[in-house]
Structure 1
Amino acid sequence: MAESQRDVKNRIASVKNIQTITRAMEMVAAARLRRAEERIALLAPYANGIRRMTRQAAAAAGTLPNLPILSERESVENVGLLLIAGDRGLAGAFNSQIVRAGVAAAREAEAGGVGAVFFASGKKPASSLRFRKFEPKASFEGFSDRPAYADAQRIAAAVIDAYVSGEVDRVEVIYNHFVSAVTQTVTRETLLPLQQASILDADGEGEEPGAAGGRIATAPEYEPGPDEILTRLVPDYVEVSIYRALLDSTASEHGARMSAMRNATDNAKTIIEDLTLAMNRARQAAITQEIMEVVAGAEGVA
């Protein structure tokens, strides 16, 4: 049955209300994105410094100290997968693509005879994993909009404890790397063991240039020795790496939500235009019908 003009007007009013909400959410996400980008920029020098110091200490130590957190397992029986996403939805594929990447990594590990142990940062990845019958060993929620370093420390403590206890033999993190407001790339990195982490293969980002514009060639001297310094640096390296991933994920979430809300606002505009056109056509049809009835009545009287 065709909709009345009143029904169409009500639909237009409803879509306009939704459009107002999505436009407001887009503006909020844009403001939060700017703050998230600032936090990433502020962390970069410290994160690069930790990476550089850990790499230099590992090179100076020659062989890594024989400690549980630094031991590389002869065989990998279980891999720990830390999925970092958000607590809320309405951000396009931001959350779902992390869960898909994590499940794909688990399937890949299982195909090679390796088990998977999940850790989840964010309510969405935790609930999605449970829906897929993958119960996370630990989940951390409530801070995806503005993570603090203390949150990264809690997550790092959980994954380090699982590694040191032998529950997992490798720890990987999967998160959305922030490129721009419209581009976020799913990134998978190895945190532990240190021998397999990307930090030992880094190209020297953050190194200080020498007087002639090259790199400083003088090796640093350590007091106490590089072994003890490395032992203290590795937990900090894990915490900073996770914190950097959390900030990247936060910026990516705000960028994804801003794009999603912009698309929703544009779609609402298109729907309003289509409904307005349909209402005008219905009004014209009603007027034409009334004119025909008047003409028919006049002819009947004549």
Structure 2
Amino acid sequence: MENLNSIKKRIKSVNDIGQMTNAMQLVSSAKMRRSLMLHDSVYPFYSLCAQSMHAIRNTMDDISNPFFILPEKKQGETWKIGAFVLSGDQGLAGAYNNNMVKITEEHIRSKILDNTRKGLSTEYKLYVFGKLAREKLMRSGYDVDPEFSFPIAEPNFYQARNVSHIIKRKYLMGEFDLVYLIYTRMESASNMVPVAVRLAPVDMKSVTSILPKNTDMSKHPAGNFENMDFLPDPDKVFDFLIDTYFNAVVYGAMVDAYASEQTARLTAMDNATKNADEMIRKLQLISNRARQAKITNELTEIINGAQQADNI
């Protein structure tokens, strides 16, 4: 049986860890509530923008906007893919960052295998938010841009606008044929789903899949688009909507990722606190047994000493 003093030291260290994880749980809880409020405030704007894009897309047959044209590749040609991965800057969030690395690796491998079956080559570049996933992907040998660095904590619309500007510039310059956003979508406080959404060219199917389930894409608050005039012309309106759409999607993804990270950290710290409490309870039982054993040994020694004294 362990020494009583060493058990007491273990109880103290576990108790200290439990207090730390409990404090982190409270901090994560406050951050999660703020992130959920931010999350809920973003989606009405995002939904309206997506509905507008969907309505105009269905109304107009001849859209020449480059962000809606999916290039065609012949056998032997190369698909150039850019993936923007939204992970966390800090650890102690359970398997959150590892899951982001895993979904990124699976997405890249699936694209390479699919293109290989079609006789096409694949070039890719990863742009990673958060240092943990970036470092792990770089160690694994993936092509990660080391100069791209955006914090995921406390996302704001200005950051999203800067990121969307980078995406649009690289796409229009021909650096990429496809651009994906890889992040964790928060469906509820207990359900977070990693997703890979094609951002450019615009894929309306992907857009509708990440909207709230009760969103009706067939109806628009502005009414029927078929008899509507676009001034100065539809292309100008579409250019403006594209810009707003990119900003909204990137911002929505950043908010989703931040809320998911805080929820994952809250869950991890809650589990850690419960495990610390359970470990303290077990150590206290061991401590009680050790103390009883010590008392029994001392009593036994006293009785044996008394018996020996009587025999003298």
TM-score (norm 1): 0.90
* 1:248-273 C-alpha deviation (Å, 9 max, x unpaired): 11111111111111000000001101
Q: Identify the residue that residue 48 of structure 2 maps to in structure 1.
A: 49
Cα RMSD (Å) of the superposition? 2.3
SS in structure 2 of the partner of residue 242 of structure 1: helix
State the percentage of identical aligned residues.
Answer: 27
2:254 is aligned to 246
Q: 2: distance between equivalents of 1:115 and 1:231?
A: 28
Matches within 5 A, 1:175-186: 175-186=183-194
The match for 2:148 is: 139
Contact persistence 2:82–2:125 (CA under 8 A): yes
Could you tell me how far 1:97 is from its partner in structure 2? 0.7
For these two proteins, the number of residue pairs brought into alignment is: 295
Listed as ranges, the gaps of 5+ residues in structure 2 are 117-121
Whole-angstrom distance in 2 between the partners of 1:221 and 1:56: 13
Which of 115, 135, 143 does residue 127 from structure 1 map onto?
Answer: 135
1:141 maps to amino acid: F
The runs of at least 4 consecutive aligned structure 1 residues that moved more than 3 Å come to 199-210, 215-219
Call closer, same or farther: CA 1:62–1:127 in 2, change over 3 Å. Answer: same
Matched position secondary structure for 2:108: helix
Amino acid at match of 1:83: V
Give 1:73's aligned amino acid: P
CA distance in 2, matches of 1:40, 1:59: 28
1:74 aligns to what? Answer: 72
TM-score by length of 2: 0.87
Gaps of 5+ in 1: none
Name the residue aligned to 1:298: 306
Query: What SS does the aligned partner of 1:189 have?
Result: strand
Matched letter for residue 290 of structure 1: E
Q: Give a deviation string over 1:8-43, Cα, whole Å, max 9, x none.
A: 111111111111111111111111111111112211
Q: How does 1:131-210 map to 2 (within 5 A)?
A: 131-137=139-145, 139-142=148-151, 144-195=152-203, 198-199=206-207, 204-205=216-217, 207-208=219-220
Cα 1:135–1:115 change in 2 (3 A) is closer
Of 99, 104, 114, which residue of structure 2 is paired with 1:97?
99
CA distance in 2, matches of 1:117, 1:22: 37
Q: Residues of 2 paired with 1:141 and 1:193: CA distance? A: 23
CA contact (8 A) 1:80 1:117 kept: yes
